[in-house]
Chain A
Amino acid sequence: MQLDLLISKFQQKDENAFETLYNMYSTSMHGVIYNIVRDHNIAEEVMQDVFIKAWHKSESYDATKGRFFTWLLNISRNAAIDKTRSKGFKNNSKNLDAEYFVDILPSQDDLNNSTDAIGVGKFISLLKQKCIEVLELLYFKGYTQKEAAETLEIPIGTVKTRNRNCINELREIVLN
């Protein structure tokens, strides 16, 4: 089915469309959320909240403002970050800052969404450190171009081109 149609049905509260979209994107959201909260139970809790929120706020998605995936990504990142700032959250914030998404890739022994998952994960973790940093900030953490430039202490334009090159490398790994 066409993604646009699927999304518009989801916005009309079509439960089947919602489930299809969930199956398409939930693992990605789970990865992003888990990378931020670094706790299995909390990650699942945030996942639930994210998709319940997505259902209730489905009409707020506007295709002219960005991709549906990006919309969902924003909700997930914000929900996960909110969680880390909540009172009950016990993880050491120092650790969270220091670790990148690649640190959780090799440890995932129960991932079963595809047979070559571990193999591809290994290649992803072999990306240059410069790429790991920029992908982490832009996709996993939701930094703006400016925020990323400041954090990485590089010019704004460099963030753009470096990210472009890193995504090209990633595409080589995951899409071929």
Chain B
Amino acid sequence: MDIKTYIKSGILELYVAGALSDKENREIYDAMLKYPELLEEVLNIEAAVVKLTAHAAPSNSKHIFTSVKKALSFTDNDTKVTSLLPPTRKTIWFNYTGWAAAVLLAVGLLWTLNKNEALNTKVSTITTDKEFLEIQVKDINSDLADTKKLLNVIRDQNLINITLNGQDVYPEGYAKVYWDKSSETVYLDLAGLPKPPEGKVYQIWSLTLNPLSPTSLGTIDDFNDNANKIFELQNNNASQAFGITLEPAGGSESPTMEQLYTLGVVSDS
């Protein structure tokens, strides 16, 4: 086939016009598959005719498609994709499932993380509680030991028991002194004394009576913190009496007699 002569014959123009028989159309179709330049020529002719006929259009025809779609009851543009070929639909279904699974997994992980954090907080709280309780048990045990020791002290036969009576400043007050001469220790039970005012402390005095001379055994600095108001002091004096005065914090050189709260004499033994 002489391609150039074939093209020049004008048969391809008639082909595009649709003016040929089925037999001729088939021949051209087969020839186009064989000779790409024929197809090229047909495309050019077609392009020219598309433009020629388009120029005769009275108006834009885009809007007509809307009524075509409506008549064919096409779905909306947005959902159009889903109503296409079955493979496409399948892919999209898989996509959605995948995303849904991913979202579920993410939510699940977040939930687990949150739960884990909550549990960790709970564990830490419980640990703190446990430690606190252990401290309390230790304290109670320590208190019990103190109390037992105190009980032993009080029951001790060698212990000298002195009651200090309330004086003018605070007549309803009282105190007890348990004096263990062998260990040179005095135990003071100050439960009968009021809480000292701010900046003041009780000072404990050992007294000899003839002549009256006081010796300080020390001040009670932790009066408020001590729950059972039992205090332990050293005493190596040959005490004949004990007195308790209220003194400025830090204590005084000699007792302020106007602030003598309690006083008691050691009975002869």
Contacts and interface: CB of A to CB of B under 8 A. Distances in A.
Interface of A: 9, 12, 14-16, 19, 22-32, 34-35, 40, 43-44, 47-48, 51-52, 55, 63-67, 69-71, 73-74, 101, 104-105, 108, 110-113, 117, 120-121, 124, 135, 138-140, 142-145, 148, 160-161, 163-164, 167, 170-171, 174-175
Contacts of B59: 30, 40, 108, 110-111
Nearest to A74: B18
Interface of B: 8-11, 13-20, 22, 25-26, 29-30, 42, 44-62, 64-65, 67-69, 71-72, 74-75, 80-81, 83-85
Instruction: Among B17, B48, B49, B69, find the residue whose CB has the most chain A CB atoms closer than 10 A.
Output: B17
Prevailing SS type, chain B contact patch: helix
B56 A105 contact: yes
Contacts of A43: 58
A157 B26 CA distance: 21
Contact of B10 (A55, A143, A160): A160
A69 B26 CA distance: 16
Contact of A108 (B9, B42, B47, B58): B58
Q: Which 8 A-B pairs have the closest CB atoms?
A: A164-B10, A31-B56, A30-B57, A31-B57, A28-B53, A160-B10, A174-B51, A27-B54
A170 B42 CA distance: 14
Given A105-B55, A140-B56, A26 B65 contact: yes
A19 B62 CA distance: 10
27 contacts: A12-B85, A15-B69, A15-B74, A16-B80, A31-B55, A34-B57, A43-B58, A47-B64, A48-B68, A52-B68, A67-B16, A70-B15, A73-B17, A110-B59, A111-B59, A113-B54, A113-B60, A139-B49, A140-B53, A143-B19, A145-B14, A160-B13, A163-B13, A164-B8, A164-B13, A171-B48, A174-B51
